[in-house]
Amino acid sequence: MAEAETLPLAQDRWLVLERTDAFGSLPPLVALPRSEAEAIEVVRFARAHRQTIEWLGGGSKRGLGHAAPPADIGIAFLAYEGVVEYRPRDLVVTVRAGTKMAELQALVGREGQMIAVHVPHPDASTVGGAVSANDAGLLRFRHGAFRDHVLGVRVVSAAGEVLAFGGKVMKNVAGYDMTKLYIGALGTLGGMLEVTFRLRPLPRALRLFGASFAPPAWPDVERFLVELLRAPLEPQAVYLLSPEMAAALGQAARWTLAVVLADEPEAVEVQAKRIAAMLPDAVRGDFQRDGDEAWAFLNALGRSLPKSPPWTAAYRPLREAERVCDAGQRDPGDRAHEAGRPDAEGDAVSFRLGLLSTDVPEALRIIAALTAETGRRFRAFGCFGAGVVWAVMDGAHDAGGKDAVQTALRRLRAAFPAPGRVVRLVHAPEALRRGLDVWGLEERSIAPMRRVKRALDPDGRFRAGRWFGKA
């Protein structure tokens, strides 16, 4: 490539990779555009020089996807943030991609509203990153996922053009719903500039109803769960926590049932009493938390899932008159030791299972048994109504850590085979993901995504290795 002065944007808009960490696969150069026009300029520059691009958010999901070679250039929207338009009366907000999810929730919360997707790490997640990863919210049972709340997006295409899909109104059904293609695409189809969300009113009352039980009570608990979903009640979520997860959240180390209720205060009280009366004799109602304490429990549940460290710690500013080949193509291995051994956050991996609702109890029991099979500590929780289970395995970097991950994937996929069910490794350091099928998808499921990718990015400009296993 040419010298630094030939790069688009000002010098202070560029960062240079200086060291590596356990999650790897970072581009040697990252641009920090502050406007739509600057993002387009970088994409057109990369296209002219046949460079590949990766879109970066806060970096909390760098452990998601296949281990693959890094792109040539990264584009991060950390400086492209803020609200474009907010219409509280219409329950609609449009924001730039670099806005943090926590900041957006705080903004709309002041108007008594919310985006009904409770992502696990809102302080570390940008809007663009969370939507591109389709980060599964903790209230999915009642409110759905991002695909149920995103009305429209503006993206930069591989040709360096701005495309707008969807709209800023509740009903928008003309033509193909292209918006949903970009949700969960990990930036492989285009870079997300803006997102328009549909908002929900904040509930006036929130209560967490908790109960614990011993393993012999499982048959009674499963019957209760089915009856609960059939009853004239409206829980926001129905969680089952393993003893290890319950202990990590400050509860007794017992199997725990946690029902989230949200409504008018009187309705919440009525529902809580109804649930208490429905509990089997072998299940003990242990605790109830209201308001901020209930939100704190949900936040702690989200924080129990590991995340990757910010990618910005691996970079430094581009120096004056520095050549790109010296800065961007220098092997950072000479300073890789600075990353050191991964900390506790980098020493854990997590799995996400998409199942039938009735599979959730059995999945949690299998995960509990994996502790004995692998010699690793597992903690897990699942949402009964949504059919989603999360599991965290500690000690990933100890000897035999990768074997333990493979054992867990093999055991869970044998118990819950595709199609119809999916077991994914959703967070792990690069060395553990290398050579593994992290997505657990059949080729017939991936083939349509490949065709869409070729149609929207025929030159392979946007790095697709995390999805498809190759750049």
- Do residues 272 and 319 share a domain? no
| Per-residue pLDDT reduced to its tens digit, 391-416 | 999 988 778 889 999 999 999 999 99
Residue 133 within a domain? yes
| Per-residue pLDDT reduced to its tens digit, 306-315 | 999 999 999 9
- Judge whether residue 365 has pLDDT over 90: yes
Query: Binning pLDDT at 50, 70 and 90, where does residue 425 land?
Result: very high
| Per-residue pLDDT reduced to its tens digit, 184-223 | 999 999 999 999 999 999 999 999 999 999 999 999 999 9
- Do residues 356 and 403 share a domain? yes
Domain CATH for 294: 3.30.70.2190
| Per-residue pLDDT reduced to its tens digit, 60-119 | 999 999 998 999 999 999 999 999 999 999 999 999 999 999 999 999 999 999 999 999
Return the pLDDT at 174: 53
Query: Binning pLDDT at 50, 70 and 90, where does residue 175 land?
Result: low
Which of these three, 157, 174, 201, is where a domain ends?
201
Closest CA relative to residue 187, chosen from 457, 459, 447, 470: 457
Q: Of 40-49, 53-62, 287-296, 391-400, where does mean pLDDT reach its minimum?
A: 391-400
Return the pLDDT at 443: 82
Residue 455 within a domain? no
Q: Of residues 130 and 284, which shows the higher confidence score?
A: 130
Residue 47 within a domain? yes
CA distances from 383 to 257, 396, 426 (A): 10, 25, 17
Residue 344, number of CB atoms within 10 A of its CB: 8
Q: Of residues 344 and 163, which shows the higher confidence score?
A: 163
**Domain range holding 424?**
349-444
Residue 396 within a domain? yes
Return the pLDDT at 172: 52
Return the pLDDT at 20: 87
- Do residues 103 and 182 share a domain? yes
Return the pLDDT at 169: 53
- Do residues 91 and 190 share a domain? yes
Return the pLDDT at 6: 81
- Do residues 379 and 394 share a domain? yes
Span 266-289, average pLDDT: 92
Q: What totals of helices (H) and strands (E) does the chain contain, helices first? A: 15, 20
Domain CATH for 194: 3.30.465.10
Residue 464 within a domain? no
Number of domains composing the chain: 4
Residue 99 within a domain? yes
Tell me the pairing of strands 200-201 and 191-198: unpaired
The predicted model scores a pTM of 0.91
How does DSSP assign 280-303, residue by residue? Answer: -TT-EEEEEEETHHHHHHHHHHHH
Domain CATH for 377: 3.30.70
Dist. CA 336–CA 193, nearest whole Å:
33
Question: Percent of the chain scored above 70 by pLDDT?
Answer: 91
C-alpha angle with apex 375: 373 to 376, nearest 5 degrees?
A: 110
Q: Which residues pair with 54 in a beta bridge?
A: 74
- Do residues 186 and 237 share a domain? no
Q: Of 36-40, 174-178, 206-210, where does mean pLDDT reach its minimum?
A: 174-178
Residue 403, number of CB atoms within 10 A of its CB: 12
- Do residues 88 and 190 share a domain? yes
